[in-house]
Amino acid sequence: MLQINDLTYRIAGRTLLDRATLVLPAGTRAGLVGRNGAGKTTLFRLILGDIAAEGGTIALPRGSRVGEVAQEAPAGEASLMEVVLAADPERSALLAEAETATDPHRISDIHTRLADIGAHAAEGRAAAILAGLGFAAEAQRRPCSAFSGGWRMRVALAAALFAEPDLLLLDEPTNYLDLEGTLWLDAFLAKYRHTVLLISHDRDLLDRAEMIVHLDQGKLTAYRGGYSQFDRQRREKLLLQTKLARKQEEQRRHMQAFVDRFRAKATKARQAQSRLKALAKLEPIAAIVEEEVQEFHFVSPVRPLAPPILRMEDVTAGYAADRPVLRRLNLRIDNDDRIGLLGANGNGKSTFAKLVAGRLAPQNGTLTRAAKMTVAYFAQHQLDELSPEHSPYDHVRRLMQDDPEARVRARTGALGFPGAKMDTPAGNLSGGEKARLLLGLATFSGPDLLILDEPTNHLDIDSRSALVTALADYTGAVILITHDRYLIDAAADRLWLVADGTVKPFDGDIDDYRQMVLAPERANGTEAAEGPTRTSRSPGDDRRRAAERRAELAPLRRLIKDAETAMERHQREMADFDRRLADPALYATQPAEAARLAKARAEAAKALAGAEERWLAVSADYESAMTSGGD
């Protein structure tokens, strides 16, 4: 059990933790959330003892081990397997002592302890963890120095998981993982035997937590359930507290008015004094401060191109003529496609994106593009391409050289950089702000196709939701490469699998893909890697049956998603109409416009009702099909 009592910590005159209190029961999987800069990572450092608190206590049971992912990627000539095994110092020390011990009693004690900690199965457990994070058996024997920094950070994560501490602290563990690694980690943590406290912007990962700890205004508040439940409870609390604050303010004004009116009259003096005392005792209800989330805005193409906007016929692509990365590509992209690319890192997702974007020429086959098609391409490595000394305004000015100052600043503000932010050097922007700037610059001229390669790495949960909304409003085609399941599920209506040297449509949803990714662990029975429970049916039967069910249900899923997208669009339209119609001046100065807006709102309401009816009907068909199929 982790107990935090009255914890206080300040930095540079700012209070991050103000008498914060928390009890985390043993074995709990908890997510730690809060706005950027609230102090989440600082709390981890306090728990680890890296820094000292000004007041309060942090208590753990005697002998508890606290573990985290190393901040620096492991390097050197030690193999990946050796690095992971070294994360259990007791095992290493006992094995070393066993080589030199001569006392029979000590030798017996050593081997008894080695058996107790499962030392002889440790290499298999380490191999399962490394495999789950994307390292094949041959790669596990290679030295750390042979891998890039991102892959070595996966080794650091593997070491932390292998050590099995009593309290595991994970700070954004999916930042260096692909979708497959994220799915595996999710399954691993679901069966982890000890306590986990997780900082993450991955909504699906947080949704599987048993508790959400919210760090806000220096306080820690625990909520039962996953992130979606927390979000609902927080919004309900915000609404209730706002109503109470408004009601109290009205009460305060009424009492003050009575005092001001009657305090000078002898007949009302006693009542006025009573009101003054009551007013002094009236504790103000603190309003919940919600951090404003800047919206994304992607400029849509002026007019849609005739489909298909891109067609591939037997295309081969790669970087060396004798070693193609992708073969037999027979695909088409239409002007309104929303495609999510699946597949492990190294299978060729980025190669395919570069091929579509025109940054890589096909080696063989025919690739046909629509005339005048424009493509916007965003990738994480481009963050380093921003001029650090130039502000967002400077970057926008380059694209609007002949426009007046006011228009350039208005456009910069529309990208999410209001006020002084637009004049801040890019080198001083946060990772999320840099990503926002690059996304805005990439889509500046209304591209026909938008390719996003891991756009969420530096975005918090609310910004990721804003990205989903912007993609829904954007009318061009989209190709997504991301490890964020929420983004894929919400923004993609088609999934393509990059595997075995080619790209093919995947007939299913992200849950079907999760089952496919974890199926090898079920088939092999590697439950040490915390995969799902093995079933009694053969893997071949499972895959065949799942494929048949996906084929039957995929059209219904697409209809449901189409209806949901339409409902969201009509709801946004109605909200916009309501906002504009709420202006009293509109009816006096522009009665014709008011009438037009009212008519348009009625049409949007009718369209929303139709979309809701379609959603209900198709959902009923889907439920019926699921029931009849026995799933």
Kindly report, residue by residue over 305-364, the tens digit of the pLDDT.
888 999 999 999 999 888 899 999 999 999 889 999 999 888 899 899 999 999 999 999
The model's confidence at residue 235, banded by pLDDT at 50, 70 and 90, is: confident
452 has pLDDT over 70: yes
pLDDT average, residue stretch 373-399? 85
Residue 277 confidence (pLDDT): 58
Label residue 346 left, alpha or beta by phi (over 0 means left) and psi (-120 to 50 means alpha): left
C-alpha 440/C-alpha 136 separation (Å) is 38
> Per the structure block, which two tokens stand in for 375?
């493509």
The model's confidence at residue 539, banded by pLDDT at 50, 70 and 90, is: very low
- Alpha carbon distance, N-terminus to C-terminus of the chain: 39
C-alpha 280/C-alpha 290 separation (Å) is 28
The model's confidence at residue 622, banded by pLDDT at 50, 70 and 90, is: low
pLDDT average, residue stretch 504-514? 88
Residue 631 confidence (pLDDT): 41
DSSP 412-424: HHHTT--GGGGGS
Least confident of 140-144, 169-173, 568-572: 568-572
The more confidently predicted of residues 297 and 544 is 297
Amino acid at 8: T
Residue 532 confidence (pLDDT): 31
Residue 554 confidence (pLDDT): 67
Least confident of 49-53, 107-111, 223-227: 107-111
C-alpha 609/C-alpha 629 separation (Å) is 30
Kindly report, residue by residue over 556-600, the tens digit of the pLDDT.
777 777 777 888 888 888 888 888 888 878 877 888 888 888 888
The more confidently predicted of residues 82 and 548 is 82
> Per the structure block, which two tokens stand in for 81?
């397997």
Amino acid at 102: T
Residue 628 confidence (pLDDT): 55
Nearest to 157 by CA among 142, 135, 138, 136: 135
- Do the strands 211-216 and 29-33 form a parallel or antiparallel pair, or are they unpaired? parallel
Distances (CA, A) of 306 to 217, 310, 372, 375, 487: 52, 10, 11, 15, 27
Least confident of 32-46, 378-392, 429-443, 535-549: 535-549
Kindly report, residue by residue over 88-113, the tens digit of the pLDDT.
887 888 888 888 888 888 888 888 88
Residue 77 confidence (pLDDT): 86
> Per the structure block, which two tokens stand in for 316?
């081969």
| Residue length of the chain | 631
Q: At what angle do helices 405-414 and 392-399 cross, to 10 degrees?
A: 120
Label residue 617 left, alpha or beta by phi (over 0 means left) and psi (-120 to 50 means alpha): alpha
Hey, is 156 helix, strand or coil? helix
Least confident of 47-61, 269-283, 513-527: 269-283
544 has pLDDT over 60: no
C-alpha 532/C-alpha 186 separation (Å) is 11
**DSSP helix, strand, coil percent of the chain (3-state; round to 5):** 50, 20, 30
Say if residue 180 is exposed, middle or buried (CB neighbours under 10 Å; 0-12, 13-18, 19+).
buried
DSSP 424-439: S-GGGS-HHHHHHHHH
Hey, is 607 helix, strand or coil? helix
Residue 254 confidence (pLDDT): 63
529 has pLDDT over 50: no
Dihedral over Cα of 601, 604, 610, 613: its sign: negative
**Average pLDDT score over the chain:** 82
The more confidently predicted of residues 127 and 121 is 127
Distances (CA, A) of 331 to 396, 476, 508: 35, 18, 18
Residue 282 confidence (pLDDT): 52
Q: Is-above-0.75 flag for pTM?
A: no
291 has pLDDT over 50: yes
The model's confidence at residue 157, banded by pLDDT at 50, 70 and 90, is: very high
Question: Long-range CB contacts (< 8 A, 24+ apart) of 379-384?
Answer: 379/350, 379/353, 379/453, 379/454, 380/435, 380/453, 380/454, 380/455, 380/457, 382/438, 383/431, 383/434, 383/435, 383/438, 383/458
> Per the structure block, which two tokens stand in for 624?
């019926």
C-alpha 401/C-alpha 392 separation (Å) is 14
CA dihedral 342, 348, 350, 354 (to 10 degrees): -120
In contact, 34 and 40? CB cutoff 8 Å: yes
The contacts of residue 353 (CB under 8 Å, 6+ apart) are: 341, 377, 379, 451, 453, 479, 481
- Do the strands 494-499 and 338-342 form a parallel or antiparallel pair, or are they unpaired? parallel
Residue 198 confidence (pLDDT): 93
In contact, 479 and 449? CB cutoff 8 Å: yes
438 has pLDDT over 80: yes
C-alpha 198/C-alpha 207 separation (Å) is 12
543 has pLDDT over 50: no
Distances (CA, A) of 393 to 293, 424, 439, 442: 20, 9, 14, 15
The model's confidence at residue 289, banded by pLDDT at 50, 70 and 90, is: very low
533 has pLDDT over 70: no
Say how many C-beta atoms besides its own lie within 10 A of residue 254's C-beta.
Answer: 11
